[in-house]
C-alpha cells in the first residue's frame, strides 16, 4: 500500500465529509488522533466542538438556527478507562456503554447501521485507541449501505497492532461531493503522520476545503506517561 500525503488527500477533495485519522507520531512518542467535520447546509455548518470532560461534543454555534439536531449534535470523542473512542455520530455512546459491559468494539457496532439520511445513507465511521503498558493499538470501523441500497448494512473493522512511527490511517465518510454523496470505499488510507501537535493541527485545518470545513479536534497522547494534549479549531467564532 502506498503511503499517501494527508495534506494532498484533503486539499484535493472538496467534500470528504467527516474524517478520522489515527496513528503514531514520527518521533514514536505519541499516539495521534484527529477528527474533523464539514458541512454543506446551514444546519451542518452551524456547529462548534467544545470540550466535555476528557472528550468533546458538538453544539450549535447559534442555537436559534438549529433546525434539526438529529445526526449533527453528538459526542465524537469519549474516554473509557484505557480506551479513547472517536466516531462521527452517537455510536460513540453505543461503543462506550457496551464496551463498559464487556462487549468488544466490533460487537458494539453490530447493534448500529449507517445513518438514516436518505439518499446518502452516510456511513458511520468509528475509531478506538487502546493504551497498554508497552504502547497502544487501534482499530477503525465503517458501517455502510450496499452501494446506496439501505436494505443491506455492510460492516468492516480494521485493526492495527504495534503501529509504526510516522504512519497512520485515514477514513472519511464520502469519496467526494455528489448527489447522493458517494460512500467511502476500500480500507482506511495509509498516511504519513509528522510534526508537533500544532504543526499537525495546522496541516489538517489548512488543507480542508475553506467553504465546507466546520471543526477539527486533534489529540496527542504521550505513550510514556499518558499525558494528553488537545487542540480544537472551530470556523465559527
> CA angle at residue 207 from 3 to 199, to 5 degrees?
80
Mean pLDDT of all residues belonging to the chain: 97
Q: Are 182 and 197 in contact (CB under 8 A)?
A: no
Average pLDDT over residues 150-175: 98
Structural domain for 30, as ranges: 6-234
Would you say residue 70 lies in a domain? Answer: yes
Answering whether pTM is above 0.95, one says yes
C-alpha cell at 232: 480544537
* Rounded Cα distance, 58 and 71, in Å: 11
DSSP-derived 3-state class of residue 184: coil
Would you say residue 1 lies in a domain? Answer: no
Would you say residue 229 lies in a domain? Answer: yes
Sign of CA pseudo-dihedral 22, 10, 75, 185: negative
Give pLDDT, residue 157. 98
Give pLDDT, residue 208. 98
Q: What is the number of residues in the chain?
A: 237
Q: Examine the pLDDT at 49 and tell me if it is beyond 90.
A: yes
Give pLDDT, residue 134. 84
C-alpha cell at 7: 495534506
Q: How many domains does the chain have?
A: 1
Q: Examine the pLDDT at 39 and tell me if it is beyond 90.
A: yes
Average pLDDT over residues 145-173: 98
Task: Single out the residue of 34, 75, 71, 74 nearest to residue 208, CA to CA.
Answer: 34
* Rounded Cα distance, 107 and 175, in Å: 26
Q: How confident is the model at residue 108 (pLDDT cuts 50, 70, 90)?
A: very high
Instruction: Tell me the percentage of the chain whose pLDDT exceeds 90.
Output: 97
Q: Examine the pLDDT at 112 and tell me if it is beyond 90.
A: yes
**Residue 36: CATH number of its domain:** 3.60.20.20
Sign of CA pseudo-dihedral 203, 18, 218, 212: positive
Q: Are 24 and 168 in contact (CB under 8 A)?
A: yes
CB count within 10 Å of CB 235 equals 20
First to last CA, the chain: 39
Average pLDDT over residues 15-35: 98
Would you say residue 155 lies in a domain? Answer: yes
Q: Examine the pLDDT at 64 and tell me if it is beyond 90.
A: yes
Q: Are 115 and 124 in contact (CB under 8 A)?
A: yes
Instruction: Tell me the percentage of the chain whose pLDDT exceeds 70.
Output: 100
Amino acid at each position: 500500500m502506498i503511503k499517501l500525503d494527508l495534506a494532498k488527500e484533503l486539499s484535493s477533495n472538496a467534500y470528504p465529509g467527516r474524517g478520522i485519522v489515527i496513528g503514531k507520531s514520527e518521533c514514536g512518542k505519541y499516539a495521534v488522533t484527529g477528527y474533523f467535520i464539514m458541512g454543506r447546509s446551514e444546519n451542518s455548518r452551524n456547529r462548534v466542538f467544545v470540550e466535555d470532560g476528557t472528550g468533546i461534543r458538538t453544539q450549535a454555534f447559534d442555537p436559534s438556527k438549529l433546525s434539526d439536531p438529529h445526526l449533527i449534535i453528538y459526542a465524537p470523542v469519549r474516554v473509557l478507562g484505557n480506551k479513547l473512542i472517536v466516531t462521527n455520530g452517537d455510536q460513540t455512546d453505543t461503543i462506550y456503554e457496551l464496551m463498559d459491559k464487556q462487549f468488544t468494539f466490533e460487537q458494539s457496532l453490530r447493534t448500529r447501521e449507517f445513518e438514516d439520511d436518505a439518499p446518502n445513507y452516510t456511513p458511520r465511521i468509528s475509531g478506538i485507541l487502546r493504551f497498554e503498558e508497552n504502547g497502544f493499538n487501534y482499530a477503525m470501523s465503517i458501517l455502510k449501505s450496499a452501494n446506496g441500497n439501505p436494505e443491506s448494512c455492510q460492516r468492516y473493522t480494521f485493526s492495527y497492532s504495534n503501529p509504526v512511527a510516522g504512519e497512520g490511517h485515514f477514513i472519511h465518510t464520502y469519496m467526494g461531493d455528489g448527489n447522493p454523496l458517494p460512500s467511502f470505499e476500500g480500507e482506511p488510507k495509509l498516511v504519513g503522520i509528522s510534526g508537533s501537535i500544532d504543526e499537525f493541527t495546522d496541516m489538517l485545518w489548512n488543507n480542508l476545503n475553506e467553504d465546507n470545513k466546520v471543526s477539527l479536534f486533534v489529540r496527542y497522547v504521550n505513550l510514556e506517561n499518558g499525558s494528553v494534549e488537545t487542540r480544537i479549531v472551530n470556523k465559527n467564532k
